[in-house]
């Protein structure tokens, strides 16, 4: 025989080993059900930790007992795991993916809470296209730690998944009996269909009759839209996140139609005629410069620490000689683009739905054009230029500026000067002001310039060699506040020089200068010492280069939506009906914030307590804002002709 292997031995060698016995399909599904619920609960817990930081008793009680939001968050995540299980066919992979995503979201939420006093929103996905900006907000060490943690969680989840698969093996479909195969595939199809429908419902959380919102509100959940940090802590991370899903910008105001808007336009036209009858000035041949100064505030107004000296002494002296006051910011620690939006459009974030967290990201880019001061000034003979010494993608400014009608956008790669100060990574305010001077010199026609600076953007640690001395806030806080205050002093110096140059120049210029919000640098001791509106007030003033045009006028706390009529009043220039309406509203309601109104003297007032005239004016403003933003624009040509260029 050609081989020493006997025929019986060869036959035995060719016999394959017996396959392991298949676990019962029912047992696999039961174990999977339990594991998926456990995975969802752990993911929900991770997200709640990312919102609370620590389990403070008040919020712990709210989440786990009063509202039961934790259990609803778990239910939403369980549905998500079920969807992935149906699609991937691997429960372990589905749980690992959801857990890793939860860890990433929790870390991002903690970081944003620390720097901006607000949680992450669905619209924040736009920032993923700007990784350079995101990484600039946190230290490299924290980024490395976060990256290692995420990788460790992912690896750990996958290893646990492998152990789970080994202990509870998944029956291969090819080895199932016909009956079991039909059961498994039918169940996956059914689960996939049901979870898809439920996830689509979650994506439309704010639609009337939504299933998920009904469940969250079953036990009387209160959506605290005026304070999103509290909103997430009380209603759970998932509940708060879903509450901020995209939604129609405004509900249709009662009575909105062409006839109603014609009546509103009639009233606004009458207001304009009355105002303009006594005005003798003009902005036709005047440069108009709007300066949003990043995080420019007055730290001497805050309690809880003392500065060695006043870092904005020059600005304070300037404010005493002209129209000035305090602006009411929508947020603490952020919201720059929102304040810019209000200034350029005269529209208030407080009149939109609370989910409209960022019109620059959620509203304007989706439209072909948008009414703004840009189109209006262009119609009055001005060239319109935007200057922002930073990346063009932030808050979709490139698209937004196009919709507004800016003719050019000067940014970090096109600005003439890119000087920085000491170790501050951002282009200095002096360079930004020099760019405005350069543009004024280079244009024959009057300019409308919208400048948004970057010098004082966070982080501020280690920016300057000579921080202002601070005491009282605590060792770490003193250093950070001192760095920030030194940046303010650089702005104070650059601004004074800029205005002096304009005063000496041959052209007439009017400047609106305002800070957008307080920086998110203050610790709990300072924040607790400054209640009420203290953490939401920033300085502003309106100044003219023309001798004799600056008259001291102290205004009550004001929203940036009213800056345009105030600028026209300072110039003694006639206004279109839209600005006349805003001017009259401002006399009765000086500031509007989500869930908060200030009356004509700057005191808190409830909308239900407004007198009949004030209520009518606010209703007219709400109608016009709807008409101009997402309505039919019935009144646009009459009230703000040329606002769309």
Determine the 3-state secondary structure of 538 from DSSP. strand
Would you give the end-to-end CA distance of the chain in angstroms?
98
Tokens 């339990």: give the residue: 34
How far apart (Å, rounded) are the C-alpha atoms in residues 336 and 457?
10
pLDDT of 14 > 80? The answer is: no
Rounded CA separation 284/507 (Å): 12
Label residue 393 by pLDDT band (50, 70, 90): confident
Is 328 in the same domain as 393? yes
DSSP H or E run through 554: strand 553-554
* Both structure tokens of 324: 């000035």
Residue 401 and residue 538 in one domain: yes
Please state the rounded mean pLDDT for residues 359-373: 95
Position 497 scores a pLDDT of 98
What's the domain range around 45? 25-243
Judge whether 83 lies within some domain: yes
Q: Rounded distance, CA 538 to CA 627, Å?
A: 30
Looking at the structure, do residues 323 and 425 belong to the same domain, yes or no? yes
Q: What is the pTM of this model?
A: 0.85
Residue 21's pLDDT is: 52
pLDDT at 302: 97
- Residue 275: inside a domain: no
- Looking at 122-131, 352-361, 511-520, 572-581, which range is the least confident one? 122-131
User: Which pLDDT value is given to residue 32?
Assistant: 79
Tokens for 467, please give them. 């921080």
Domain boundary among 188, 222, 243: 243
The pLDDT value recorded for residue 168 is: 54
With cut-offs at 50, 70 and 90, classify the pLDDT of residue 618: very high
Residue 334 confidence (pLDDT): 87
* Of 283, 198, 361, 335, nearest in space to 544 by CA: 283
- pLDDT reading at 314 higher than 80: yes
Q: Poorest-confidence range of 95-99, 104-108, 116-120, 125-129?
A: 125-129
For residue range 207-236, list pLDDT tens digits in order: 888 999 999 988 766 787 767 888 888 889
Helix (H, G, I), strand (E, B), or coil: what is residue 615?
helix
Residue-wise pLDDT for 183-209, tens only, equals 767 788 899 999 999 999 999 999 888
- Which position has the higher pLDDT, 407 or 22? 407
What pLDDT is attached to residue 12? 46
Same-domain status, 238 and 373: no
Helix (H, G, I), strand (E, B) or coil at 589: strand
Higher pLDDT, residue 356 or 168: 356
Q: Indicate if 200 and 341 belong to the same structural domain.
A: no
212 HSE (CA, 13 A, CB side): 29
478 with 575, same domain?
yes
Contact 432, 387 (CB under 8 A): yes
Let me know whether 541 and 610 are in one domain: yes
Q: Of the residues 226, 243, 260, which one is the last residue of a structural domain?
A: 243
Q: Return the minimum-mean-pLDDT range out of 139-153, 253-267, 526-540, 594-608.
A: 139-153
Radius of gyration of the chain (CA): 30
| pLDDT score, position 117 | 74
Q: What does residue 440 show for φ and ψ, rounded to 5 degrees?
A: -65, -45
Closest CA to 636 of 351, 347, 354: 347
In the chain, DSSP finds a helix count (H) and a strand count (E) of: 24, 13
301 and 222 part of one domain? no
- Residue 347 CA to chain centroid, in angstroms? 16
H helices of 277-312, where? none
User: How many domains, the chain?
Assistant: 2
Q: Is residue 155 one of the residues assigned to a domain?
A: yes
Q: Is residue 5 part of a domain?
A: no
310 and 236 together in one domain:
no
Q: Which tops the pLDDT comparison, 167 or 445? A: 445
Query: Does residue 384 lie in a domain region?
Result: yes
Asked whether residue 18 is domain-assigned, the answer is no
Residue 176: per-residue pLDDT: 62
Q: Residue 3 has what pLDDT? A: 46
Q: Please report which confidence band the pLDDT of residue 133 belongs to, taking 50, 70 and 90 as the band edges.
A: low
Q: Residues 213, 348: one domain?
A: no
The CATH number linked to 508 is 3.40.720.10
Q: Which residues on adjacent β-strands are paired with residue 511?
A: 289, 543
- What integer pLDDT is reported at residue 72 of this predicted model? 94
Indicate if the pLDDT at residue 566 is higher than 80.
Answer: yes
In a domain, 12, yes or no: no
Q: How many Cα atoms sit within 13 Å of 220 on the Cβ side?
A: 3
Q: Name 152's Cβ contacts closer than 8 Å, sequence gap at least 6.
A: none
pLDDT at 2: 46
| Local structure of residue 63 (DSSP, 8 states) | I
The answer to whether residue 257 sits within a structural domain is no
pLDDT at 134 over 70: no
Could you write out the DSSP letters of every residue in 328-348?
Answer: E-SSSS--HHHHHHHHHH---
Tell me, yes or no, whether 344 and 448 share the same domain.
Answer: yes
Q: Does one domain contain both 117 and 229?
A: yes
pLDDT band, very low/low/confident/very high, at 4 (cuts 50, 70, 90): very low
**Mean confidence (pLDDT) of the chain:** 89
């Amino acid at each position: 025989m050609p081989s020493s292997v006997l025929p019986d031995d060869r036959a035995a060698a060719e016999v394959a080993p017996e396959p392991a016995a298949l676990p019962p399909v029912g047992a696999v599904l039961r174990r999977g059900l339990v594991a998926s619920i456990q995975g969802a609960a752990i993911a929900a817990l991770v997200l709640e930790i990312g919102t609370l930081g620590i389990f403070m008793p008040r919020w712990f009680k709210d989440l786990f007992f009063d509202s039961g939001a934790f259990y609803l968050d778990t239910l939403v995540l369980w549905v998500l795991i079920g969807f992935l299980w149906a699609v991937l066919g691997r429960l372990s992979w589905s749980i690992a993916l959801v857990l890793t995503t939860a860890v990433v979201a929790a870390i991002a939420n903690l970081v944003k809470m620390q720097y901006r006093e607000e949680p992450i929103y669905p619209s924040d996905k736009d920032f993923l296209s700007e990784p350079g900006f995101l990484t600039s907000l946190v230290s490299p060490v924290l980024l490395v730690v976060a990256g290692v943690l995420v990788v460790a969680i992912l690896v750990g989840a996958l290893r646990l998944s492998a152990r789970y698969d080994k202990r509870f093996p998944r029956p291969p479909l090819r080895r199932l009996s016909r009956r079991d195969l039909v059961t498994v595939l039918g169940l996956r199809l059914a689960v996939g269909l049901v979870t898809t429908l439920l996830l689509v419902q979650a994506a439309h959380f704010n639609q009337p009759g939504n299933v998920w919102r009904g469940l969250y509100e079953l036990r009387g959940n209160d959506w605290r839209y005026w304070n999103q940090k509290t909103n997430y802590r009380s209603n759970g991370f998932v509940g708060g996140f879903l509450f901020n899903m995209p939604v129609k910008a405004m509900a249709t105001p009662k009575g909105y139609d062409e006839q109603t808007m014609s009546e509103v336009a009639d009233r606004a036209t009458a207001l304009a005629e009355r105002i303009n009858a006594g005005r003798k000035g003009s902005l036709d041949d005047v440069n108009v410069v709007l300066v949003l100064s990043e995080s420019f505030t007055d730290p001497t107004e805050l309690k809880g620490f003392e500065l060695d000296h006043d870092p904005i002494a020059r600005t304070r002296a300037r404010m005493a000689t002209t129209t000035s006051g305090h602006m009411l910011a929508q947020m603490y620690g952020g919201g720059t683009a929102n304040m810019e939006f209000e200034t350029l459009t005269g529209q208030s974030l407080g009149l939109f739905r609370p989910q409209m967290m960022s019109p620059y990201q959620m509203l304007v880019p989706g439209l072909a054009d948008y009414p703004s001061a840009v189109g209006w000034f262009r119609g009055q003979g001005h060239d319109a230029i935007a200057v922002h010494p930073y990346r063009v993608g932030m808050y979709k400014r490139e698209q937004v500026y196009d919709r507004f009608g800016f003719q050019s956008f000067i940014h970090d790669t096109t600005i003439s000067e890119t000087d920085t100060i000491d170790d501050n990574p951002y282009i200095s305010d002096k360079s930004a002001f020099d760019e405005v001077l350069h543009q004024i010199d280079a244009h024959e026609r009057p300019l409308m310039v919208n400048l948004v600076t970057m010098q004082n953007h966070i982080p501020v640690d280690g920016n300057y060699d000579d921080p202002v001395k601070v005491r009282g806030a605590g060792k770490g806080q003193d250093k950070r506040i001192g760095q920030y205050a030194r940046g303010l002093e650089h702005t104070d110096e650059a601004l004074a020089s800029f205005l002096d140059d304009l005063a000496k120049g041959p052209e007439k210029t009017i400047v609106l200068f305002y800070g957008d919000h307080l920086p998110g640098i203050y610790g709990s001791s300072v924040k607790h010492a400054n209640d009420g509106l203290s953490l939401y007030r920033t300085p502003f003033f309106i100044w003219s280069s023309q001798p004799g045009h600056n008259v001291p006028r102290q205004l009550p706390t004001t929203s940036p939506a009213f800056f345009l009529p105030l600028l026209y009043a300072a110039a003694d220039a006639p206004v279109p009906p839209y600005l006349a309406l805003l001017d009259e509203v401002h006399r009765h309601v000086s500031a509007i914030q989500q869930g908060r109104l200030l009356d004509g003297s700057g005191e808190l007032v409830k909308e239900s307590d407004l007198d009949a005239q004030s209520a009518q004016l606010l209703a007219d403003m709400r109608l016009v804002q709807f008409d101009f933003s997402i309505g039919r624009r019935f009144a646009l040509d009459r009230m703000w002709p040329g606002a769309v260029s």
